[in-house]
Amino acid sequence: MDNNIKNMPNFRPNKAPARKTVREIIYHVVGIVISLAFILPILYMLATSTKSEAIYAEGVGTIKMFLPDFANIGVAFDNYKNVLIDYDIWKYALNSFIYAAVVIVLNILINGLAGYAMAKLTFPGKKLLSFLIIFLIVVPVETSIIPLYSIVKVMLGLKKQMSVIGVILPAAISIFNIFLFMQFFQNIPKEYEEAARMDGANTLGVFFKVIMPLSKPILATVAVFCFIGVWNDYLWPSMILPAANDGSWPLTPIQTALIAITSTPNITTGQVMASLVITSIPIFVIYVAAQKYIVQGFGTSGLKM
């Protein structure tokens, strides 16, 4: 029967499965190559943080660059110990954690209230404000950094320890976060608000007792973005914060300190990589822990990942 079908003049073999197999092979090969492009630098960083300078030099240009030095694993503890204690990187990390915590709280309160007003309230000039929000999202931050510096340093006169306020206040307001809150709040049914108002709640009561408990995904998303922004911020804190005097607690965050530490003349490559590992771990942990909420936050905000 099969031979008779193949001998028919109009018979054409089905090549679809073969083409599908080729596409799948290409898809997986490309995926592996792209994954390696991201994974290999991380493996290199982790492996180098376990090595002395001599062992590191021996493996340059070979596959050993991406393999830890298991034979002398105690060196890894020395690298991390030197970075944490001798260079006091833990102090700068603590500064970043404190700055991030304050910025997250202020972002949720200020930008959340602004987003709620734009999404649920009616007032004159609302359309103009909506246009300005979308317009300001595409404006680079670098265009406003000099005027912002003039305001903080000249007009407000923030000096010494008070310059910490100059680090926190500009980061407390984010146009992009206002947009995220606005998009998310628009998808919350009005029936929840109407029920709360029938129970006697005012506008702030509706926001804190009804809207906020329903907004866990976007709250987690904004919190993660704020933490990453504060943790990775280098330019603005280096401009606004004073250098630490001998014996005083430094005010600079971890990225500013990281540049100074990696520029130290006698620091080894292993210590540099150990400091990079330490600064990368909090971002990795927080993003993994909140990944589910980030996806939900973007999905319910009408945005595509």
CATH number for the domain spanning 151: value is: 1.10.3720.10
Q: Which pLDDT value is given to residue 169?
A: 87
pLDDT at 73 over 80: no
Q: Which pLDDT value is given to residue 305?
A: 39
Instruction: Evaluate whether residue 157 is within a structural domain.
Output: yes
Average pLDDT value over all residues in the chain: 82
The pLDDT of 44-72, averaged and rounded, is 83
Overall number of domains in the chain: 2
More confident residue, 5 or 174: 174
Instruction: Evaluate whether residue 6 is within a structural domain.
Output: yes
**Residue 10 sits in which domain range?**
2-72
More confident residue, 37 or 18: 37
Convert the pLDDT of each residue in 148-176 to its tens digit: 888 877 767 677 777 788 888 888 888 88
Instruction: Evaluate whether residue 207 is within a structural domain.
Output: yes
Q: Looking up tokens 């947009």, which residue turns up?
A: 179
Convert the pLDDT of each residue in 104-129 to its tens digit: 999 999 999 999 988 888 888 888 88
Q: Judge if 110 and 16 occupy the same domain.
A: no
pLDDT at 6 over 90: no
Sign of the four-CA dihedral 85, 88, 91, 97: negative
Instruction: Evaluate whether residue 62 is within a structural domain.
Output: yes
Instruction: Evaluate whether residue 305 is within a structural domain.
Output: no
The pLDDT of 252-258, averaged and rounded, is 87
> Among residues 41, 72, 103, which one ends one of the domains?
72
More confident residue, 159 or 27: 27
Q: How large is the greatest C-alpha to C-alpha distance in the chain, in angstroms?
A: 93
Q: Judge if 149 and 280 occupy the same domain.
A: yes
Q: Judge if 281 and 138 occupy the same domain.
A: yes
Residues in the chain: 305
Q: Judge if 151 and 216 occupy the same domain.
A: yes
Q: Judge if 156 and 284 occupy the same domain.
A: yes
Q: Which pLDDT value is given to residue 303?
A: 46
Instruction: Evaluate whether residue 55 is within a structural domain.
Output: yes
The pLDDT of 47-56, averaged and rounded, is 85
Q: Judge if 104 and 31 occupy the same domain.
A: no
Q: Judge if 220 and 282 occupy the same domain.
A: yes
Q: Judge if 168 and 250 occupy the same domain.
A: yes
Convert the pLDDT of each residue in 8-25 to its tens digit: 555 555 555 667 787 888
Instruction: Evaluate whether residue 82 is within a structural domain.
Output: no
More confident residue, 226 or 85: 226
Taking the CA atoms of residue 257, residue 258, residue 260 and residue 262 in that order, the dihedral angle to the nearest 10 degrees is 160
Instruction: Evaluate whether residue 114 is within a structural domain.
Output: yes
Q: Judge if 99 and 63 occupy the same domain.
A: no
Q: Judge if 270 and 210 occupy the same domain.
A: yes
Q: Judge if 60 and 106 occupy the same domain.
A: no
The pLDDT of 284-305, averaged and rounded, is 67
Residue 9 has what DSSP assignment?
Answer: T
Q: Judge if 64 and 184 occupy the same domain.
A: no
